[in-house]
Amino acid sequence: MIKTLHNDQSIMQQAIKQAKKTMNEDLGGPFGAAIIDADGTILSVSSNSVLGDHDPTAHAEVNAIRMAGQKKNSHDLSGCVLYTTAYPCPMCLGAIIWANIKTLVYGCRPEDADAIGFRDDFIYSFIEKGRSDHSVLSIKEKHRDECLKLFEEYQSKNKTLY
Amino acid sequence: MIKTLHNDQSIMQQAIKQAKKTMNEDLGGPFGAAIIDADGTILSVSSNSVLGDHDPTAHAEVNAIRMAGQKKNSHDLSGCVLYTTAYPCPMCLGAIIWANIKTLVYGCRPEDADAIGFRDDFIYSFIEKGRSDHSVLSIKEKHRDECLKLFEEYQSKNKTLY
């Protein structure tokens, strides 16, 4: 890990540079992200690699979180700050919260991403309107009783939550 | 790929079995998922590996989507159905929509996960209430002008959207 302290403009510039690189290699969309540890260490600089990795989850923020988790040998990124060149989609926002990151700095607004054809706002809208629009996603409950047994087994073993 | 057709009860049972395995190996929480292709092929059976992989994004659904993307050599899982032992969190729901999956079958309800201490509903609530609760996540806009240049470069190259 590089131990140099960075100002947040230089961090965002690194995220932009990485995004340009992978965008121009046709690996993914124009999105970059970086994660800074509590001590100012840059843990990860990443970008969208959805096309190159054949992975719809490989957004810049998710990639940066996965990389930082490997660096810290932990799923817990408490105290870290995530920089992203654009406001995160619901998937990435969820990932950020699960990683226990409490501060998020973004560059472009949701409407900026919409203007170049990315539909992040559309997914927020689906969630905010109760997730009932079947033209987006049809959600069905089945086999709940069998699945509940898994939760019961988890509880009976008194597993540590993460 | 196994070409046998499966009924959805047996698919959910495979997801449950995989979740039990990794839960009992202390690799992650009690959650499993599976993805079925349009022709009935099982593309992936996966489970939560957040602890084992030091990856806060390694939920069962995300893992199943990544694995299916590798199998199909594409980020596009149109026509696939995702089975999950519990209602997906916002991160996983976003991943499902980005993957172009249109049908989702879940077992346990959000309140069932809450009852064993998982805070999925908490993240939905943060989103639904406008993402303004700073005790959850402080979201700041910075360096928008520089980041917009990335979008302009993307547009000027007339890149294919995914």
A89 to chain B, any CB pair closer than 8 A? The answer is: yes
Residue B71 structure tokens:
């199998």
A5 to chain B, any CB pair closer than 8 A? The answer is: no
Mean pLDDT over the full length of chain A = 92
How many CB atoms sit inside 10 A of residue A34's CB? 31
**Is A35:A74 a contact under the CB 8 Å cutoff?**
no
Reported ipTM: 0.94
**pLDDT digit string, tens, across residues B127-154:** 999 999 999 999 999 999 999 999 999 9
Element (H, E) at A36: strand A32-36
Q: What is the pTM of this model?
A: 0.94
What pLDDT shows up at residue B133?
94
**pLDDT digit string, tens, across residues B55-64:** 999 999 999 9
Query: In chain B, positions 19-38, which contact chain A (CB-CB < 8 Å)?
Result: 19-20, 23-24, 26, 28-32
What pLDDT shows up at residue A1?
46
Kindly determine whether residue B144 and residue A105, on different chains, have CB atoms separated by under 8 Å. no
B2 to chain A, any CB pair closer than 8 A? The answer is: no
What pLDDT shows up at residue A7?
84
CA A37 to chain CA centroid, Å, is 16
Instruction: Report how far apart, in Å, the C-alpha atoms of B88 and of each of A24, A94, A157, B105, B154 are.
Output: 34, 11, 23, 10, 32
For chain A, 162 residues long, the average pLDDT of each consecutive 10-residue run is 67 97 95 96 97 97 98 97 97 97 96 85 92 95 96 83 60
B141 to chain A, any CB pair closer than 8 A? The answer is: yes
The closest alpha carbon to A86, from B146, B79, B96, belongs to B146
Query: What share of chain B has pLDDT > 90, as a percent?
Result: 83
Considering only CB atoms, B70 lies closest to which of A54, A89, A109, namely A54
**Is A34:A100 a contact under the CB 8 Å cutoff?**
no
**Is B51:A162 a contact under the CB 8 Å cutoff?**
yes
**pLDDT digit string, tens, across residues B107-119:** 999 989 988 988 7
Instruction: Report how far apart, in Å, the C-alpha atoms of A76 and of each of A65, A91, A149, B3, B29 are.
Output: 10, 17, 28, 39, 15
- Chain B residue numbers with beta carbons less than 8 Å from the beta carbon of A10 are none
Active site residue B61: yes
Extended beta strands in A80-158, E state: 81-86, 103-108, 138-141
Judged against a pLDDT cut of 70, whether residue B2 lies above it is answered with: no
